[in-house]
Structure 1
Amino acid sequence: MGAVARDVHGHLAAATSTGGMTNKRYARIGDTPLIGAGTWADARCAISCTGHGEYFIRAVAAYDIACLMEYKGLSLEEACRVVVHDKLAPAGGEGGLIAVDAAGNVTLPFNSEGMYRGSRTEGGEALVAIYK
């Protein structure tokens, strides 16, 4: 899937690898290589997405999270919830994302049955999970 990170200076980065859906068509290109759809990083947040890429592309999902934080003042967790559950799910897009903000808050929302995910906070708290 991908990785998001915040360094000791507060700089954010996102790295997203292809994966997405099981049994996808051969030679299919999804949201992963598209900045703003499958991956995004700026001074506010870093996001890496996985799932039904066509829906993430239409929603410009990763960038939309940053915009919701900037324009509506939403927290990282709330902006991610809006995109994953209120925007993608009703349109038929399954999947999720991992995200971190400049304060080091991490969220890993998904609307599918499961999503391989893991995180480790600055204090060393670790999370590894697949299902809800």
Structure 2
Amino acid sequence: MEAGEFRIEEGLYYTKEHLWVKVEGSNTTVGVTDYGQHQLGDVVFIELPSVGQEVEAGEKVAAIESVKAAIDIFSPLTGKVISVNEDLNEEPSLVNTDPYGDGWIYEMNISDVTELEDLMTAEDYRAYIQEIEAEEE
């Protein structure tokens, strides 16, 4: 598959672990990218973080189980979890069907906006996926 076959939304930040980050002031929303959910396959369970949980960038914050794998989600940023997507408890497949919308995982208040500089832009992420796909060919 080409990187162009996966939805990559402009205006978001991305991680090499296939998470997206939407920034609104000092609050961010985090979810799995379209490419990431495709790699996982059908998501069957999500362990959500706790509201109020303080996390450091790179620290485990959630977990996802799919028909193919179980993976840990590591927070792309340092801050405090302010909201989780409770809908995923009943319908974890939202990560597959609407990764950039109803499939979001958690929201956090970030404590260091300079950490955003460590994340990729949509253009950077597109190039990163193309590299991965080229290596797999």
Query: TM over 0.5, yes or no?
Result: no
In the superposition, the TM-score normalised over structure 2's length comes to: 0.30
RCO greater where, 1 or 2, for CA within 8 Å and sep 6 or more? 2
In the superposition, the TM-score normalised over structure 1's length comes to: 0.30
